[in-house]
Structure 1
């Protein structure tokens, strides 16, 4: 069963639903986003009844915007409590407290940030909304002197982003402060099958431009990334499954792995893979894995076979977030053709209206070994080379 909601559904997901005849719930949001009538549409009542008849019903969503629907319509199932423990980062840290007893974290209401005893905080630390999305409102603080500026940035950001997503997805009422986890960051799509076994469908290296960078600009996957990190990531997702007794449940998890191969989860996003149909769709372009189909048909990837022909290739998801410093209202256009010309082998471009969301789109690419410079350039770019301003605005 599929639940579709805003802000975005990909053509690839729609085609997957169509070709597999997967039941899709006919909510208003789904109908707003999908005009295709030749799908296996089921009513909300039918969906609810299906769960009453089979509480272990498989369900996947493209968006956390559906959380309120699940909480209201499926409150008789265990789904709301399972979602809540992952979506609230403070509850998630409490869940794993015995696994990471020395890990520092602290919950704090937004209105109390002004009176935070900054001299008693361990540096460096990360501060972010306890219920968040897309690195919105996330900041790294290296020393006490940075706090006044960081606090001002948070307050300004919250004013701009608080209405982008529903409160179940982004809630800025409470923040979490936690120690800065050293090491490389990875994003993982996986699911727990009917036996509770964790099945990993993709691993992507989240690349940053600097120690201060907390953006989502580039995620890359490759044969080397999968082979190197699969064993340790498999152990962690097994642990999370054991702690939560998950079955028939998809998740998108972000982790950090240090040089000693210590792995610590950053957050877990429930009932979906990467947001905006990103990491799940690029699995298809990179490895021929249809993550939606693998979950709903309870399939496992044969990584040994899949990776045989992938040596020397890196597949990347590029988030074209508006980090230009230019307000969307002052932007006339974005030169997507020039963007595509700057890459060796663009696989897919998705354009997004920057006046509705603070991003220009997403780019999927294939990069050959030795040509990583194209990724480094876009990683550090403020994208102004692609932006044309409105004539009455000077920047």
Structure 2
């Protein structure tokens, strides 16, 4: 079963629902009348009462409130909380990473924190958050004043866009910097608690202080190199939390010694805004939505063998222009597409609401990787027209 909600449902997800006749509930008014055959809430509730091994996927964490309200008799609210609350997540894996520093602080405590008690530099993020809101790297004592003000400004705006279950500004997690290359991957746990990885993407950053979500990419080499280690980690994660019939989106880093350290785990979904699952399909032809809901497991050795050698990337076109969205009259999407050898799909987003111009999926030959590096560091000013 699938819950659909704001802010975005891809055509690929809708096509998957129609093709496999997956039961679906629209909790966010994101489908057109008659576009999909929809269930009513009582039908989903009854399915979970009669079949404890029922599976539920949502494209958006906006649906969390619905799950907590209507499916409180299942394990789902418990699973959601331990991952959605980043402090609870750190506590869950503390026995695996006993030397990792973290602490929780309230929003009202930001002005009274004693920096000498914290590792410097450090990361601060909301205990419950989304889309890098309120996530900042603090490099030194002088940097702390700037970051505090940024957090206060960001959460004033965010409260009007997302439910409190998604962005809760009352509590923040401070943790030590996790150095190394960053990756994101989707996975699920079956009715026995066994884990299956459904695709891996590498997260690129423009600089040491960059915490944005601008570029993710996947390839044959990434899958071949990291599948064994990531699978072992998610197996251990499932054991710690006792997960069954549950999908997750996991973000990790590999330090210079190759040790995997998790950043966070997002519950009940794959990458937000229908991103990583759709990217995985473009690169591998594995439909992650289908695989989770139908309990299928990729034959990875064969899948990787049949993949081409090109790079499949996702670019999130966040407003990094320095120009307020309300002062931008239009975005030059055609000019953007001309920068890439093979654009696969462009999703235009209402940037005046979400401060994101769109999302672009591309296929890039290895010898032209520079096109990805260029968009990674671009402030996108060349693509906007001001009022």
Question: TM-score band (shorter)?
Answer: over 0.9
Deviation string, structure 1 residues 93-112 (Cα, Å, up to 9, x no partner):
00111110000001000111
Equivalents in 2 of 1:310, 1:127: separation in Å?
Answer: 39
Name whichever of 160-169 and 250-259 sits farther off. 160-169
Equivalents in 2 of 1:220, 1:244: separation in Å?
Answer: 29
2:66 paired residue number: 69
- Does the 8 Å CA contact 1:125/1:141 hold for their aligned counterparts? yes
Deviation at 1:284, TM superposition (A): 1.1
1:283 paired residue number: 280
Equivalents in 2 of 1:167, 1:185: separation in Å?
Answer: 28
- Does the 8 Å CA contact 1:190/1:201 hold for their aligned counterparts? yes
Secondary structure of 2:55's aligned partner: coil
2:7 paired residue number: 7
Q: Please point out which of 181, 185, 189 is paired with 1:184.
A: 181
- Does the 8 Å CA contact 2:5/2:26 hold for their aligned counterparts? no
Deviation at 1:323, TM superposition (A): 1.1
Equivalents in 1 of 2:310, 2:227: separation in Å?
Answer: 18
1:222 paired residue number: 219
Q: Please point out which of 236, 240, 244 is paired with 1:239.
A: 236
Equivalents in 2 of 1:118, 1:353: separation in Å?
Answer: 39
Name whichever of 143-152 and 185-194 sits farther off. 143-152
Equivalents in 2 of 1:143, 1:156: separation in Å?
Answer: 20
Count of matched residue positions in the alignment of Structure 1 and Structure 2: 387
Where do residues 121-200 of structure 1 align in structure 2 (5 Å cutoff)? Answer: 121-200=118-197
Relative to the length of structure 2, the TM-score reads: 0.98
Deviation at 1:165, TM superposition (A): 1.0
Tell me: CA distance 1:26–1:160, structure 2 relative to 1, closer, same or farther (3 Å): closer
Gaps of 5+ in 1: 391-395
In the alignment, does 2:51 pair up with 1:54? yes
1:300 paired residue number: 297
Deviation at 1:203, TM superposition (A): 0.5
- RMSD over aligned Cα, in angstroms? 1.1
- Does the 8 Å CA contact 2:186/2:198 hold for their aligned counterparts? yes
Q: Please point out which of 88, 95, 98 is paired with 2:95.
A: 98
Relative to the length of structure 1, the TM-score reads: 0.96
Name whichever of 54-63 and 32-41 sits farther off. 32-41
Secondary structure of 1:152's aligned partner: helix
1:108 paired residue number: 105
- Does the 8 Å CA contact 2:24/2:38 hold for their aligned counterparts? yes
2:341 paired residue number: 344
Deviation at 1:36, TM superposition (A): 5.2
- Does the 8 Å CA contact 1:26/1:44 hold for their aligned counterparts? no
Gaps of 5+ in 2: none
Deviation string, structure 1 residues 108-138 (Cα, Å, up to 9, x no partner):
0011101110122111110011101111111
Structure 1 residue ranges (4+ consecutive) displaced by more than 4 angstroms after TM superposition: none
Equivalents in 2 of 1:324, 1:336: separation in Å?
Answer: 15
- Does the 8 Å CA contact 1:18/1:38 hold for their aligned counterparts? no
Secondary structure of 2:62's aligned partner: helix
Equivalents in 2 of 1:42, 1:201: separation in Å?
Answer: 27
- Does the 8 Å CA contact 1:131/1:171 hold for their aligned counterparts? yes
